[in-house]
Amino acid sequence: MSAAAISMSNWQETHLPPADDQPATQYASNLNNSKAVEKIPVEIWHRILGFAISCTLLPGEDDDYYHGQAIRDLDCIMVADYKRSEIIRTKLRLVCRQWDQFLDNFSDRLVQLTPDAPMGYWPPVKRWDRVIRIQGPHNIFCTCKHSCWPPFDRKGDALSKGNLLRPVPPRLQSQIRETVLPQLSNQCKAILWPGVWQDDFVDPERFDSVIMFAHAFRDSEHATKQAAIISSTYMRLTHLEFWMPSLCNPSFYLSLERLETLRIYTEKTDGDLEPKVASDTHSVGKWHLPSLRSLSVWIVAWTENDVRAFNMLLHQIGKGLTGLYMCDLTEDSVTGHPVISENTWSWLPSLEVVGTNLKHISLMPAPRKGTRSPITLLIDGETNLINHIPPRQVLEDIRKNWSLSATGEVIVNEPWSEMIRAIEDDEAWLGQGLHDSEIDVLDVLHAIGTGLRDSEGVPFQERIRRQLHVALTNQKRRAAEEKLSASP
């Protein structure tokens, strides 16, 4: 919608369909006469043209956690949304000559650079200066009946073998670098995972409008260098995402006045020596992010070092945070130490939402009632929070630590209907026999705050509990029957 608003007030005077324009007159006849078109308020034209560019390729100002997740990656859902948007835009171009000219400016908004396309990119692009979102190579497993995006992995072969990216041939690298990238303009607002072309996007004049950026740092030295480049090149950034070997990097410096959302992934390879975190808060470098509101940290295996570094980071940038998400990339990666200490809550005075797994929640000391506004707990399926329920002791710890806490709503990032369907289809869900009744975990979550609901806002009522219980009982019965029939 923001793109359509560019010069919209001036556009109304010169681009609204005139009464003597034959296509416009035909279109207006549906409204009884052509004069009716001229009397339609500009807000209506805003709304109509908004449909033409309605695909969410960029973050919005008021995006919540779910919407923020939805725009991160190019996937089948985004592709379908983009295609629908293009169909509508194409149809609206037929209204009249002025609409055709105006809407033509919004072509070629999305492109992916990939060795899996004949030209090295997809879809075909006529005007590179109109691209607003450009993606580097990455594999997505397409589950659509028919391939929705040719570069997507249809069989999952690359993913199953652990080879996430096919190397970009040197000739293709040069071709893209010399003939394609120079055509990009300051209309480009999102650069995601540029890969081998990372240095070609370092141009403060051409890319001064970029608000969304994602990149991978090879090692600590590379991270330090790239953070400095990001700070000086993309000063309008509001959303940043990157991979780095470790949070422990005293030389790291990142300064972005407008950054609102930050996602960090850390993964140490077998050859990496984990740096020791000293008591000095600058063991994690210096982070100047005064506008930061949302922080997500993904760590493959939380160690004591990671916990210390994470808390040092929060001490620097936690004051304005409203959302904090502590995520695991493996199910068994939770250290026996709380990732948030009792003192940490005082560094997070504005915090409203905490998203993490149940084991982390059970370990960390909860903020007490009367010390702050209630905190919403987000049980996020993306971080293995529902599909890997810990033993009963963890549930007891959650009940004990959080029953008198400053907890508001507890939200499960799945619809109840999807949970019931998954159980009925024998898909893995909940504890898989880790305790007597998998429903126990939902009872505990419902009791510790002001109530439990699913991602669609449906509360955890007796009706939902009964449906889940019946589905689980039937699942166990089927499993027992299959085991009995398989025995000799």
Q: Break the chain into its structural domains and give their ranges.
A: 8-104, 109-216
Give φ, ψ of 48 to 5 degrees. Answer: -65, -50
Q: How much is the pLDDT for 252? A: 94
Q: How far apart are CA 110 and CA 96, in angstroms?
A: 25
Structure tokens at 276: 């020791």
Q: How much is the pLDDT for 481? A: 82
C-beta separation of 341 from 372 below 8 A: no
Please determine, for residue 410, whether its predicted confidence score (pLDDT) is greater than 80. yes
Specify the pairing of strand 212-216 against strand 121-122.
unpaired
Q: How much is the pLDDT for 402? A: 87
Interhelix angle 8-15/42-52, rounded to 10 degrees, is 100
Interhelix angle 42-52/97-104, rounded to 10 degrees, is 50
* pLDDT bucket at 233, cuts 50 / 70 / 90: very high
Is the pLDDT higher at 34 or at 51?
51
Whole-Å CA distances, 468 to 367, 432, 465, 475, 479? 31, 14, 5, 10, 16
Least confident stretch, 87-96, 245-254, 305-314, 363-372: 363-372
pLDDT tens profile 299-323: 877 788 888 899 999 999 999 999 9
pTM above 0.85? no
Q: How far apart are CA 192 and CA 137, in angstroms?
A: 9
Is the pLDDT higher at 144 or at 227?
227
Structure tokens at 189: 């607002």
Q: How far apart are CA 327 and CA 80, in angstroms?
A: 28
Q: How far apart are CA 114 and CA 120, in angstroms?
A: 5
314: three-class secondary structure by DSSP? helix
Q: Report the pLDDT averaged over residues 88-98.
A: 86
Any idea which residue has 């400016």 for tokens?
Answer: 105
* pLDDT bucket at 216, cuts 50 / 70 / 90: confident
* pLDDT bucket at 329, cuts 50 / 70 / 90: low
C-beta separation of 406 from 374 below 8 A: yes
Q: How far apart are CA 218 and CA 269, in angstroms?
A: 10
Q: How much is the pLDDT for 8? A: 37
C-beta separation of 274 from 304 below 8 A: no
CA-CA-CA-CA torsion for 316, 255, 214, 282, nearest 10 degrees?
-40
Is the pLDDT higher at 381 or at 42?
42
Q: Quick one: CA dihedral 423, 428, 431, 434, positive or negative?
A: positive
Residue 84 DSSP label = H
pLDDT tens profile 157-187: 444 334 456 789 999 999 999 999 999 999 9
* pLDDT bucket at 282, cuts 50 / 70 / 90: low
Q: How much is the pLDDT for 330? A: 56
Please determine, for residue 445, whether its predicted confidence score (pLDDT) is greater than 50. yes
465: three-class secondary structure by DSSP? helix
Give Cβ neighbours of residue 106 (< 8 Å, ≥ 6 apart): 3, 4, 52, 53, 89, 130
